[in-house]
C-alpha cells in the first residue's frame, strides 16, 4: 500500500514536470528559451516516472524483477547523459545558423 | 497543387480506413491468419527448437529461406548504393588543415596536400562542422555501451524482442555516431571501406554457409538438426544454436550495409567529408 | 493500478500532441527539432508504461533502451546536418 | 639494466589498463542486461565484452588510463547526489517560469562568457552538462581551453552561475 502511494506520488510529480515542459515549449518566446523547458523538464520528468515504474516493478522481489528495475534505471542514466548533449547540439545548430536571441521588448518569435 | 495533393492524401487515407472494416477483428481465433499453420508454430516451436520467442523460431528456422533472401536483398541494396554513388577520381578542390597544437586553420588551394603522416596537421572538412567538444566526448563515451547493447540484442534474440536485424542496426548506428559527432574520416579510419565490404559479404556467407554445412552433413539445406553431429548437444538444441549462428550472420550483414549506405550517401560517394 | 497507468499513458499522448504543434508550426527547422526531441523523450516513458500494461516489462525495457539510443542519434545527426548545410532558412529568415 | 625493464612494464600497464577497465565495466553491464547466468550466455557475454573492448577500448580512454582513475570515479559518484538536488531546484524554477502568466516580463535571456579553470576533457564535459541540466542555463559552446559561453534564461540564474558547481566538479576530479 505504501509502495503504491510512493509510486503514485512520483508519477504525479513526473507528469507535472512533463506538463510544464510541454506548455513551456509552446509559450516561451524564442528558440533559445524554448530549449530550457525541453531540455530540463523532460529529463527530470522521465527520471521521476522511470523511478516510479522501477519501484512498482519491485512489488514482489525476485532476481529477474530486480534486474528489470536496474535496466529501467539504466535507461535513466542513458537519458541523463544523452539529453543535455542533444540539447547542446540543437542549441549549437541554432547559434551557427545565426538565430538572434530574444531580448526584452521584442515580439514573440 | 498542394491542395490537390492534400485532397488525394485524405481520399486515399479514407479509403484505407474504410477497407480496414473488412479485416477480421483483432485477435480473432477464426481469422485466416491464425487458423492454418500458426497454431502449429505456437504449439510446437518450443519443443522443436528450444526457442521461447516464436517470432525468432519462425523467422530463422521454419522460414529460413525467406530470411536468407531478405539478407541478400539488404546486401544487394548496399552493393547498389556503392555502384551508383562511389566516385574514384579525385576532384580539384581547396583543402583545409588544422594545426593541432595551436588550433589555426590552413587553407590550401589546388591539389597540394600535407602528407597524412604528419602528426601536427589534421585534415578538416571544407563545408565545415566545427569541432564540438561536448558532443565528441559524450559520443566517445557512449559508443562502447551502444555496441555492447547491440551485441546483447543479437545474442538474446531467443529470449527477447531482438535478433540479427535489430542488433545489426544498432551496431551500425554506433559507427554512424562516430561519423556524425567527429567526422566521416574518423569513422572510416576506425572501420574501413574494405573491411566494410568484406563484412557485408561475410554476413550473407555465414548464413548461406550454415545452410550448406547442414546439407554437407546429410540433411536438407538449412535444416539445423544436422548440426547435432558436430555439436555436443541434442538435435533440438542444435536447432537453437543454428538459429544463433544465422542471427550473427544477419547482424554482420545489416551492420556493414548500414555503414556502407551512410558513408556513400553522406559523402556523395567521395568519402572525404560527410554529412 | 493498471487503469492508472493507462490514463497516465493517454495523458502522455496528449502532451506529445502539444509538442507536435511545435514540430509542425515552429518557425525554424531547429524549433521543429525541439518538438521532435520532446516527443522522443516522452515516447521512452510511454514504452515502459505499455510494458507494464501488457505485463511484459522485461521485453519493453529493451525496446525503450533501443529507442532512447536511436532518438539521441537521430537528434544529433539532424542538428549536425542543419548546422553544416545551413538548411535552416527554408522559410523566410527569422526576425 | 633495470630501467628499460621498468619502462616496458609501465608501457604494458598503459596498454592493458583501458582494455581491462572497459572489459570489466561492460561485463557488469552485460550481467544487468542479460539476466541469464548459465554458462552459454555468460560465454557469449565474455566474447561480446572482449570484442567491444578490443574495438573501442581506446575510445573510452584515448590516452591510456588517467592517473588516479578509481579516486576520480568515486569522486564523480559522490558528486551526483548534490547534482540531483540542484537539478530538482532548477526544474522547479523553470516550471514556475513556464507556468507563470506574465512569463515574458519575468525572463531576461542573456549570453554570459566566463573562463573555467578545469583542465581535463571529462571534467569540462561534466561541468558543461551539469550547467545544461541546472538553473535556467544551457551551455552554448566550450572551447578546448575552458572558455564557456552560457545562455541564461533570467537574471537570477545568470548570477548563480559557476562558483560552487565548478568547485565541486574540480574536487570530484581532483583538479583543485
Q: What angle do CA A87, A89, A94 make, to 5 degrees?
A: 95
- Which residue on chain A is closest to B131 by alpha carbon? A92
Q: Does B148 contact D144 at a Cβ distance shorter than 8 Å?
A: no
Residue where one domain finishes, among candidates D60, D84, D108: D60
Residue D115 lies in a domain: yes
Chain D residues near residue B131 by CB distance under 8 angstroms = 144
Q: What range does the domain containing C18 cover? A: 8-85
Q: Per-residue pLDDT for A20 more than 80?
A: yes
DSSP state of B81: H
Number of domains making up chain B: 1
| Per-residue pLDDT tens over the stretch B85-104 | 888 776 666 677 777 766 67
Q: How confident is the model at residue B10 (pLDDT cuts 50, 70, 90)?
A: very high
Residue D65 lies in a domain: no
Q: Kindly state whether residues D45 and D8 are assigned to the same domain.
A: yes
What are the DSSP E strand ranges found in D33-172? Answer: 110-115, 137-142, 147-152
Q: Kindly state whether residues D82 and D163 are assigned to the same domain.
A: yes
List chains touching B (3+ CB pairs under 8 A). A, C, D
- Percentage of chain A beyond pLDDT 70 is 93
Query: How close, in Å, is residue A82 to chain B by CA atoms?
Result: 8
Q: At what angle do helices B164-181 and B133-155 cross, to 10 degrees?
A: 170
Residue C22 lies in a domain: yes
Q: Kindly state whether residues D92 and D48 are assigned to the same domain.
A: no
Residue B59 lies in a domain: yes
Q: Kindly state whether residues D103 and D165 are assigned to the same domain.
A: yes
| Per-residue pLDDT tens over the stretch C22-37 | 888 877 788 888 888 8
Q: Kindly state whether residues D50 and D111 are assigned to the same domain.
A: no
Number of domains making up chain C: 1
Q: Does C76 contact B275 at a Cβ distance shorter than 8 Å?
A: no
Q: Which of D91, D95, D138 sits opposite A35 (nearest CB)?
A: D138
ipTM of the complex: 0.87
Cell of D175: 583538479
Residue D122 lies in a domain: yes
Q: Does A28 contact D151 at a Cβ distance shorter than 8 Å?
A: no
- Percentage of chain D beyond pLDDT 70 is 84
- Give the residue-averaged pLDDT of B189-203: 89
Residue C95 lies in a domain: no
Number of domains making up chain D: 2
Residue C3 lies in a domain: no
- Which residue on chain B is closest to C69 by alpha carbon? B146
| Per-residue pLDDT tens over the stretch D27-70 | 888 888 888 888 888 888 899 898 888 888 777 777 667 777 77
Q: Per-residue pLDDT for C16 more than 80?
A: yes
List Cβ neighbours of D125 (8 Å cut-off, separation of 6 or more): B133, B134, B137, B138
Place of cell 570530484: D172
Q: What range does the domain containing B205 cover? A: 47-90+131-266
Q: Does B123 touch chain D (CB under 8 A)?
A: no
Q: What range does the domain containing D124 cover? A: 70-172
Write b or e for each residue in A67-83: b if 16 or more Cβ atoms lie within 10 A of its Cβ, otherwise e.
bbbebbebbbebbbbbb
Query: How close, in Å, is residue A41 to chain D by CA atoms?
Result: 6
Q: Does D107 contact A71 at a Cβ distance shorter than 8 Å?
A: no
Amino acid at each position: 500500500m505504501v509502495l503504491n502511494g510512493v509510486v503514485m506520488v512520483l508519477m504525479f510529480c513526473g507528469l507535472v514536470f512533463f506538463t510544464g515542459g510541454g506548455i513551456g515549449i509552446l509559450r516561451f518566446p524564442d528558440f533559445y528559451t524554448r530549449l530550457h523547458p525541453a531540455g530540463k523538464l523532460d529529463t527530470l520528468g522521465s527520471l521521476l516516472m522511470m523511478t516510479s515504474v522501477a519501484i512498482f516493478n519491485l512489488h514482489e522481489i525476485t532476481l529477474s524483477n530486480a534486474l528489470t528495475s536496474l535496466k529501467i534505471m539504466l535507461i535513466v542514466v542513458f537519458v541523463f547523459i544523452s539529453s543535455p548533449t542533444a540539447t547542446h547540439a540543437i542549441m549549437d545548430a541554432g547559434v551557427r545558423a545565426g538565430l538572434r536571441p530574444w531580448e526584452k521588448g521584442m515580439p514573440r518569435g | 497543387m498542394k491542395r490537390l495533393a492534400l485532397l488525394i492524401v485524405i481520399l486515399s487515407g479514407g479509403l484505407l480506413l474504410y477497407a480496414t472494416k473488412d479485416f477480421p477483428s483483432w485477435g480473432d481465433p477464426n481469422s485466416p491468419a491464425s487458423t492454418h499453420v500458426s497454431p502449429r508454430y505456437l504449439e510446437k516451436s518450443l519443443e522443436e527448437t528450444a526457442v521461447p520467442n516464436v517470432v525468432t523460431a519462425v523467422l530463422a528456422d521454419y522460414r529460413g529461406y525467406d530470411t536468407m533472401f531478405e539478407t541478400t536483398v539488404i546486401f544487394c541494396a548496399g552493393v547498389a548504393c556503392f555502384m551508383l554513388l562511389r566516385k574514384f577520381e579525385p576532384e580539384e578542390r581547396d583543402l583545409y588543415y588544422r594545426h593541432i597544437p595551436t588550433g589555426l586553420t590552413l587553407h590550401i588551394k589546388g591539389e597540394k596536400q600535407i602528407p597524412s603522416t604528419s602528426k601536427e596537421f589534421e585534415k578538416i572538412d571544407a563545408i565545415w562542422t566545427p569541432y564540438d567538444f561536448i558532443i565528441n566526448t559524450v559520443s566517445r563515451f557512449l559508443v562502447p555501451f551502444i555496441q555492447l547493447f547491440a551485441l546483447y540484442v543479437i545474442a538474446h534474440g531467443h529470449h527477447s524482442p531482438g535478433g540479427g536485424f535489430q542488433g545489426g542496426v544498432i551496431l551500425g548506428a554506433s559507427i554512424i555516431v562516430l561519423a556524425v559527432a567527429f567526422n566521416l574520416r574518423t569513422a572510416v579510419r576506425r572501420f574501413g571501406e574494405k573491411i566494410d565490404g568484406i563484412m557485408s559479404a561475410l554476413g550473407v556467407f555465414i548464413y548461406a554457409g550454415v545452410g550448406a554445412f547442414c546439407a554437407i552433413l546429410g540433411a536438407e539445406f538449412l535444416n539445423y538438426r544436422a548440426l547435432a553431429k558436430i555439436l555436443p548437444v541434442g538435435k533440438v538444441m542444435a536447432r537453437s544454436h543454428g538459429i544463433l549462428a544465422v542471427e550473427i550472420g544477419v547482424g554482420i550483414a545489416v551492420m556493414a550495409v548500414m555503414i556502407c549506405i551512410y558513408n556513400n550517401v553522406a559523402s556523395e560517394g567521395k568519402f572525404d567529408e560527410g554529412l | 493500478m493498471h487503469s492508472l497507468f493507462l490514463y497516465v499513458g493517454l495523458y502522455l499522448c496528449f502532451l506529445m500532441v502539444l509538442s507536435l504543434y511545435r514540430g509542425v508550426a515552429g518557425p525554424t527547422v531547429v524549433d521543429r527539432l525541439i518538438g521532435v526531441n520532446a516527443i522522443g523523450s516522452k515516447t521512452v516513458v510511454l514504452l515502459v508504461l505499455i510494458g507494464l500494461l501488457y505485463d511484459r516489462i522485461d521485453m519493453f525495457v529493451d525496446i525503450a533502451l533501443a529507442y532512447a539510443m536511436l532518438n539521441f542519434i537521430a537528434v544529433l545527426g539532424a542538428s549536425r546536418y542543419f548546422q553544416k548545410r545551413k538548411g535552416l532558412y527554408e522559410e523566410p529568415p527569422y526576425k | 639494466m633495470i630501467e628499460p625493464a621498468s619502462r616496458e612494464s609501465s608501457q604494458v600497464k598503459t596498454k592493458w589498463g583501458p582494455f581491462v577497465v572497459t572489459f570489466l565495466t561492460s561485463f557488469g553491464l552485460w550481467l544487468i542486461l542479460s539476466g541469464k547466468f548459465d554458462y552459454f550466455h555468460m560465454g557469449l557475454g565474455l566474447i561480446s565484452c572482449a570484442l567491444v573492448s578490443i574495438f573501442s577500448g581506446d575510445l573510452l580512454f584515448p590516452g591510456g588510463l588517467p592517473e588516479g582513475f578509481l579516486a576520480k570515479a568515486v569522486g564523480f559518484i559522490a558528486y551526483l547526489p548534490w547534482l540531483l538536488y540542484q537539478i530538482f531546484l532548477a526544474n522547479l524554477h523553470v516550471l514556475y517560469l513556464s507556468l507563470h502568466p506574465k512569463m515574458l516580463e519575468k525572463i531576461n535571456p542573456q549570453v554570459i562568457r566566463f573562463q573555467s579553470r578545469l583542465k581535463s576533457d571529462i571534467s569540462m564535459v561534466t561541468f558543461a552538462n551539469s550547467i545544461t541540466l541546472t538553473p535556467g542555463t544551457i551551455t552554448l559552446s566550450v572551447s578546448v581551453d575552458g572558455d564557456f559561453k552560457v545562455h541564461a534564461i533570467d537574471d537570477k540564474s545568470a548570477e548563480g552561475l559557476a562558483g560552487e558547481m565548478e568547485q565541486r566538479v574540480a574536487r570530484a576530479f581532483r583538479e583543485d
